[in-house]
A and B are shown apart, each in its own frame.
Chain A
Amino acid sequence: MSIRERLSGNEASSFAMKQINPDVVAAFPITPSTEIPQYFSTFVANGTVDTEFVAVESEHSAMSACIGAEAAGARAMTATSANGLSYMWEMIYIASSLRLPIVMSLVNRAVSGPLNIHNDHSDAMGVRDAGWIMLFSENNQEAYDNLLMAHRIAEHKDVLLPLMVCQDGFITSHSIENIMLEEDSEVKKFVGKYEPKHYLLNKKEPISVGPLDLQSYLFEHKAGQAEAMKKAKNVILDVAKDFEQWTGRHYGLFEEYRLDDAEIAIVCMNSTAGTTKFVVDKLRSQGIKAGLLKVRVYRPFPAEEIAKALEHVKAVAVLDKSDSLNAVGGALFTDVTSGMYVNNVNVPTINYVYGIGGRDVPTTQIESVYSDLAEIVKTGNIGNPYRYLGLRTKEGK
């Protein structure tokens, strides 16, 4: 039986970690993810979990401790945000290349500078090519559910890749909302026991982890990571199927909201998708055929599936909560449009960089995007495809 509760995104994430009861949690506090290791450390202190909690002196050490623990054969988790993730950078690549299925809760925040503690996706976008599976969460429920599914995906024999569950800093991490929780025993059963095939503390099979890997084999090992990333897609869907059987909550690679017969559509991730759903309903009640595609699985990127889902639409806007500063467009935009191109889908598509540094995203902003799209459909003129949404004008408004 699911349990009706109200929790913040951070509370929900630490609750999931409590139920998963990993062998090791190593973390260093950073806003807005601080509460996750904070709450978790109380579970450790109270004996609710038997996790070894490593209160490291930096995020670089947090990821290093997770790497050491996973290599030894333990299940390890961590949580961080923004500059904390930046400080892990070196070890982020080590974790994925050593094929260690570490699970991280990433509470998205703008990477400095100048200093900003609020939400955007620049932290996540900075590691999009680092070989981690990346799941995005609209609200506290999805942050919780994605964490419950995380280990089954990451530890699968076809995958063996680290995984991060993203949610929007403050917007969902610090907002109390309704949530359905699952029973401890059911979670334990679903997540299962971690049984690594190869690990350092196996005296029957002495191995070495992370030795020098030069011209003769690094290429093959990278290709192995890429292959695992491709295979992850089906594993993610299989785990989601089991999860739905258990909880009744459905997850795919992305969510299509009133997209079937939509003429204009927005593609976005995390909390903005919820705000967009409200706007879609409002526009639908006025007879405007608006739809939404909310990306849940960003890595591996479901390019073909997204292209197919958007094929029938007359105009698309991709919303990026991070600017790639490449004079072309945000990361999600370039991923979506290249996916459309190689799959022979030719739909007028524009990009909006929005919500940077915690700039609030009211429903009126989303409505303005749909009205821009309607204009493109009417005139056939895309104009500048790389735009800003909610940027102050010269008058300061």
Chain B
Amino acid sequence: MDNLIEIRWHGRGGQGAKTASLLLADAAFNTGKYIQGFPEYGPERMGAPITAYNRISDTPITVHSNIYEPDYVVVVDDTLLESVDVTAGLKESGAIIINTTKSPDYLKSVLKGYNGRIYTIDARKISMEALGKYFPNTPMLASIVKVANILSDEDFLKDMEGSFKHKFAKKPEVIEGNMKALEMALKEVNQIS
């Protein structure tokens, strides 16, 4: 497991955190990496807190456990910040990306003194503007690709276009909006600390 990157996703059931983790695995796979993408299944229901994981490596991945010391954490829903310990085990050399419009002071107060990099993005605004509906997972996917430097913006967009064409074969009308959401997110993800 050389050059291993471990990522933990926090979201709520129905927001697409699992799908985002699978799309991230896809994107990394297409660059020739070894990947894992898996959700931690609990009592699945809309709105319940859920966790999903990614491992990305240059060599085969044999570990089959949850991730306890992630390099990156992605928080798809900021209402989780006060109820879930999202920075648990998060490496200080890594980063956390939060879908939020809350103030940097508030975020620092709920992140329990986390000293690594903190990024925010308004995935709601992007999603509403690009898709007309609230699907935060697409902007969050672009954010983690950017922050963790998993592949270049150009390669990522090209790759995702292919994935969306496959995934939305029966609803091609949503491809353009999803691509726009990715492009906007790549530009708008913002380091606050």
Residues of A within 8 A of B (CB): 6, 117-118, 138-139, 168, 170-172, 174-178, 271-272, 274-275, 277-278, 360-363
Contact = CB atoms under 8 A, between A and B. Distances in A.
Contact of B25 (A6, A277, A278, A360): A6
B68 A362 contact: yes
Contacts of A138: 62
Nearest to B33: A178
Identify the interface centre among A171, A175, A271: most chain B CB within 10 Å of its CB.
A175
Given A174-B41, A176-B37, 14 more contacts: A6-B35, A118-B41, A172-B64, A175-B38, A176-B22, A176-B25, A177-B61, A178-B34, A274-B64, A275-B63, A275-B65, A360-B66, A362-B65, A362-B66
A177 to B, nearest CB: 5
A361 B62 CA distance: 13
B60 interface: yes
A278 B35 CA distance: 16
B1 interface: yes
A363 B63 contact: yes
A136 B64 CA distance: 15
A193 to B, nearest CB: 34
B1 A174 contact: no
A138 B63 CA distance: 10
Contacts of B35: 6, 176-178
Interface in B4-41: 22, 25-26, 29, 34-39, 41
A360 B64 CA distance: 9
A173 to B, nearest CB: 10
26 contacts: A6-B25, A138-B62, A139-B62, A139-B64, A168-B64, A171-B38, A171-B64, A174-B38, A175-B38, A175-B64, A176-B35, A176-B36, A177-B34, A177-B35, A177-B36, A178-B34, A272-B64, A274-B63, A274-B64, A275-B63, A277-B62, A278-B1, A360-B66, A361-B64, A361-B65, A362-B65
Nearest to B61: A177
What bracket does the count of chain B residues touching chain A fall in? 20 to 34
Nearest to A172: B64
A358 to B, nearest CB: 8
Nearest to A279: B63
Contacts of B66: 360, 362
B41 A178 contact: no
Interface in B42-98: 60-66, 68
A363 B36 CA distance: 16
Contacts of A360: 65-66
Identify the interface centre among B35, B39, B61, B64: most chain A CB within 10 Å of its CB.
B64
